[in-house]
Amino acid sequence: MIVGFVDDHRDELGVEPICRVLQIAPSTYYAAKRRAVAPSARAVRDAVLMQALMVLWVANRKVYGAHKLWKAARRAGHDIGRDQVARLMRAMEIEGISRRRRKVFTTIADPDALRAPDLVKRNFTAERPNALWVTDLERHEALLNRAVVEGHRHVPVAAGALKLRAA
Domain boundaries, the chain: 2-37, 41-92, 104-167
91 near 50, Cβ under 8 Å?
yes
Is the pLDDT score of 163 beyond 60? no
With a cut of 50, say whether residue 97 has pLDDT above it. Answer: yes
pLDDT tops 80 at residue 42: yes
Q: What is the pLDDT of residue 149?
A: 47
Residues 99-154 pLDDT 10s: 776 767 677 778 898 888 888 888 888 888 888 777 766 655 554 444 444 554 44
Dist CA 70 CA 84 (whole Å) = 9
Q: Global pTM?
A: 0.51
More confident residue, 79 or 101: 79
Task: Quote the CA–CA distance of 46 and 84 in Å, as a whole number.
Answer: 9
CB 69 within 8 A of CB 53: yes
Q: Are 46 and 78 in contact (CB under 8 A)?
A: no
Residues, the chain: 167
Mean pLDDT score across all residues of the chain: 82
For residue 29, pLDDT over 70 is answered with yes
Residues 6+ positions from 26 with CB-CB distance below 8 Å: 15, 16, 19
